[in-house]
Amino acid sequence: MSDSIVPVKEIEEKMDTDKMWVIMGPQHPFSHGLWTLKVQLDGEIVTDAEPIVGYLHRGWEKETESREYPKIIPMADRLCYCASMTYTHLYCMTVEKALGIDIPEKAKYIRMVADEVCRIQSHLMWLAAVGTDLGSYTVFLWSMREREFFLDLNVKLCGARMTTNYPRIGGVRNDTTELFDRDILRAVDRFEKALWDIIALIDDSSIFVSRMKGISFINRETAANIGLTGPAMRGCGVDFDIRRDDPYDNYDKVDFEVPVLKAGDSYSRYMIRIEEMFQSCEIIRQGVAKIKALGKNAPYRVKTPSKVPAGTAFARLEDPRGESLMYLVADGTDRPYRLKVRSPIFTNVSSARLQSVGVRIADVPAVLAQIDMCLGETDR
């Protein structure tokens, strides 16, 4: 009977197959936007991958050169509709540096609170997408339900749900409204309880956990070398957050923790965003208290000149997806000579090959969902 046993090596040689390239995207639901991932398969295992972006290029940076500085604010909203508040904040901060002005304290706190509301609703959009990627429509529904409360807060603050057009060069468009003041803390308190329900729904599912835990490892050194940024970077053990390490707009005046996990797998990158939502709730509470302490008579905006002195300015902030940067070259007119945007997703998507090689093709959506793709800011 032992003579009939065929050695494993001989079986592997007989089953050796040709490698095959499979195109995923740009219409594939895993992509969360218009981009393509070419994967090379050896059976079910990914042996190579190549991300392809550029389908959504709109010439954003070139268009800004023909518009006055205030008219670029609504354009910055549309870099990423999930993170519109942080991109307009970043743009205004860049122009303020070029002008050499300091905005009122109240405006800084309002921007900070608005950014954290934006971070929570952006992470909830990501969580809803992860739910569908891994086969749970309930996660999608629960996440989108909670997201609506924070979009409602945007409406109460500035009248718009997603493309908010709220920050201004020199501060913010308007003071916090009575409805916003009434509901912001109630929404945060309610959300923290609801988030635990979503966590239980995911972590109690062996399907969810097994498709994220222990796959797509990236160590700390590799994450730093390839330029990963944001939650994807902190899930690989890199302890860096611009809000804490290079603070802007009074983030140094509130207490919060930066979640960091060293496992470096897909589950760690998922958990980082979950914990960030809890930390955003703490920042909102402290920011709202600071705003109330300043009172309704405190200024929230300063008047700025229409023309920016010739020179350069650079600003960066912690976007929900990572480190966003803008570089402005001004020529002394009322329009920028050059405005360069550095998107966190443009660098993070370049890690698609590293994250995909070695996993099964069925796990590719679960792995790349942790990038939290947004093609508007990537292609511009």
Q: Which two tokens stand for residue 205?
A: 């599912």
Give CA angle at 126 (121, 130), nearest 5°.
145
- Predicted model pTM: 0.86
Q: How far apart are the first and last CA of the chain?
A: 66
Give pLDDT tens digits for 173-220: 888 888 888 888 888 888 888 888 888 888 777 777 777 777 777 888
Q: Please check whether the domain covering 63-351 is classified as CATH 1.10.275.10.
A: no
| Cα 329 to the center of its chain, rounded Å | 26
What is the residue extent of each domain of the chain?
A: 63-351
Write the CB contacts of 63 (distance below 8 Å, at least 6 apart in sequence): 75
pLDDT band at residue 69 using 50, 70 and 90 as cut-offs = confident
Tell me the mean pLDDT in the region 154-162. Answer: 84
Give pLDDT tens digits for 83-124: 788 888 888 889 998 888 888 888 899 989 988 988 898 889
pLDDT of 30: 65
Give pLDDT tens digits for 305-348: 888 889 898 988 888 888 888 898 888 888 889 888 888 888 88
Give pLDDT tens digits for 231-250: 888 888 888 888 888 888 88
| Residue 28: DSSP 8-state | -
Catalogue the E-assigned strands of the chain. Answer: 20-24, 36-42, 45-52, 167-168, 171-172, 311-319, 322-330, 336-342
Look at the block and give the residue holding tokens 């509709």: 81
Q: Is the pLDDT of residue 229 over 80?
A: yes
Neighbours of 84 (CB within 10 A): 26
Q: Which two tokens stand for residue 252?
A: 């140094």
Distances (CA, A) of 169 to 4, 103, 118, 349: 79, 9, 19, 31
Report yes or no: 213 and 266 within 8 Å, Cβ to Cβ.
yes
| Closest to 301 in 3D by CA, of 64, 70, 65 | 70
Q: Is the pLDDT of residue 11 over 60?
A: no
Distances (CA, A) of 78 to 87, 333, 377, 379: 9, 24, 8, 12
